[in-house]
Structure 1
Amino acid sequence: MFDSDRDELFESMSLAGIETAIIPGVNPEGWAKQLQVAKQYSCPYGLGIHPWFCEDEPQRALEQLSEQVNACIHDPYLVAIGECGLDKIRKDNWQGQIIALEAQLSMARQLDLPVILHVVKAHSEMLAILKRYSLPRGGVIHGFYGSYEIANEYIKLGYKLGIGGLILNASAKKLKTCVAQLPLDSMLIETDSPAMTPQNSADSRNTPLILQSIIAEIANLHKKSSVLITEHTFRNSMQLFDLKLILI
């Protein structure tokens, strides 16, 4: 999706004050390209198995994940396990999703890494599992779209909420109401690019360049300055993913 203009995109990001982007992993077939891009552009990354790519019996993929993580364990740019999680839209592999998620939570706990979590129509199941797997580093609920009550349950467990392009949609009233109430130390900003393009975008492909618009919307909802929101969300990312060794 970015092969034709990746250099130009990173240059535009730099001009916009965006220092880097965290690149999650989603399946064994994609890790090699992901690691190549991460190395070329000095991006932190996660390694994981996304619920869309889980088989009913994901043991082989989990073995591959363990091997890949062990190969990268001394790389300071490996900052998370994920993207992993639960997605009820893809219920045909539900049992495999649970097996893969629990294995990756165990891996994150063992390695003292945070997790990047994908949760779609499965908040109650995810919260129940996270209560059983106490992760010292917590993680982020990627692309969060839910109520303040659900958000608060994640926050109490030590997780942060990833706020992305959905906040820019006029129809996202529940999310806007939630974000307006969230403490500033509970949020990260994200894009999920090239996916999750805002409805009013002129480009069908999402990119990190919308981060400024997300910050502006959060600032508007909190009646704070964009500078303050930028400072808080940057600090939250630095702390969660322990980025000080690679960004400072």
Structure 2
Amino acid sequence: MIDSHAHLDFAEFDSDRKQLFDSMKQAGIETAVIPGVSPAHWDQQLAIAKEYVCPFGLGIHPWFCDEEITVSLAELKLKLEKYQFDPKLVAIGECGLDKLRNKNWQAQIVSLEAQLTMAKQLELPVILHVVKAHNEMLSILRKHALPKAGVIHGFYGSVEIANEYIKLGFKLGIGGLILNHNTQKLKNCVAHLPLDSFLIETDSPAMTPSNSAETRNTPLILQSIIVEIANLQKKSSVLISEHAFRNVVQLFDLKLKLI
């Protein structure tokens, strides 16, 4: 297994990060993709990715877009120039649109457009955060036509919306929300997804399943996500696991970089 989206560089893991990686290895979790979120986080993120040999993305999350976004984008460009030949740099992101935090909406648009352009130039996939903004995101993605597409992280939408992203070559990140009892729309969507269309992820330390006794999410819930997807699709857990692994390796071109 591979966690396709986990912020294992965040402070919530500072006290037991090594133990967590040891537990992940014992659970059959080979690695995790660590996305970037802002200039202030990148150095710690890159240090953790190097120490634990994790693939990573570099980007600016919509929550960190502000009036200084042009400065942040210039910093991102410089960082990408420095790491563009690092085999562990596998994506641009996490970037995107979030209408629940829409006070910086125009800065989010500027940031997203710029990062999609960078992804196209570097021929990298994007890791996209999309909340209450699927129509706007789909419109922008159709305009950019990215050669490597990417993943819609933390997907929670209808079958119709899922199919629109799939038509554009994107995969859907399915995480701990699928384990909640009150997410019937997502469960219905996942039940109908083609096997080559999804990745498994956790968004650790966030998005802890509501039935969990833990306050902090970790990649150790990946097997539970696989079992739930298998139940919804009426397929074996082994089949779902194999496809999820293949999908993340193919999207982020991980094969030669992990072995």
Superposition TM-score tier, normalisation by shorter sequence: over 0.9
- In structure 1, the partner of 2:243 is 232
Identical columns (%): 71
- In structure 1, the partner of 2:58 is 47
What's the offset of the Cα at 1:244?
Answer: 1.1
Task: For residue 31 of structure 2, give the secondary structure of its aligned residue in structure 1.
Answer: coil
- In structure 1, the partner of 2:167 is 156
- In structure 1, the partner of 2:208 is 197
Equivalent residue in structure 1 for 2:221, among 210, 224, 235: 210
- In structure 2, the partner of 1:97 is 108
- In structure 1, the partner of 2:81 is 70
Within-5 A mapping of 1:80-91: 80-91=91-102
What's the offset of the Cα at 1:57?
Answer: 4.8
> What do the CA deviations read for 1:153-210 (whole angstroms, capped 9, x no partner)?
0000010000000000000000000000000100000000000000000100000000
| Structure 1 unmatched runs, 5+ | none
User: Quick one: distance in 2 between partners of 1:141 and 1:157?
Assistant: 11
- In structure 2, the partner of 1:8 is 19
User: Quick one: distance in 2 between partners of 1:81 and 1:74?
Assistant: 14
In the alignment, does 2:180 pair up with 1:169? yes
Q: TM-score if structure 2 supplies the norm length?
A: 0.95
- In structure 2, the partner of 1:145 is 156
Higher RCO, 1 or 2 (CA under 8 Å, sep at least 6)? 2
Equivalent residue in structure 1 for 2:234, among 192, 205, 223: 223
- Check the 8 A contact 1:56/1:97 in 2, yes or no: no
- Check the 8 A contact 1:56/1:95 in 2, yes or no: no
In the alignment, does 2:199 pair up with 1:188? yes
Q: Give runs of ≥4 in structure 1 deviating > 3 Å.
A: none
> What do the CA deviations read for 1:77-119 (whole angstroms, capped 9, x no partner)?
0000000000001110000000000000000000000000000
- In structure 2, the partner of 1:247 is 258
In the alignment, does 2:129 pair up with 1:129? no
- Check the 8 A contact 1:145/1:175 in 2, yes or no: yes
Give the number of equivalent residue pairs.
Answer: 248
Task: For residue 196 of structure 2, give the secondary structure of its aligned residue in structure 1.
Answer: helix
User: Quick one: distance in 1 between partners of 2:166 and 2:68?
Assistant: 31
In the alignment, does 2:38 pair up with 1:18? no
Task: For residue 32 of structure 2, give the secondary structure of its aligned residue in structure 1.
Answer: coil
- In structure 1, the partner of 2:126 is 115
What's the offset of the Cα at 1:238?
Answer: 0.5
| Structure 2 unmatched runs, 5+ | 1-11
Task: For residue 23 of structure 2, give the secondary structure of its aligned residue in structure 1.
Answer: helix
Equivalent residue in structure 1 for 2:71, among 60, 71, 74: 60
- Check the 8 A contact 1:56/1:94 in 2, yes or no: no
Q: Partner letter of residue 141 of structure 2?
A: L
Task: For residue 204 of structure 2, give the secondary structure of its aligned residue in structure 1.
Answer: coil
Equivalent residue in structure 2 for 1:36, among 28, 32, 47: 47
What's the offset of the Cα at 1:133?
Answer: 0.4
What's the offset of the Cα at 1:56?
Answer: 3.5
Q: Partner letter of residue 142 of structure 2?
A: K
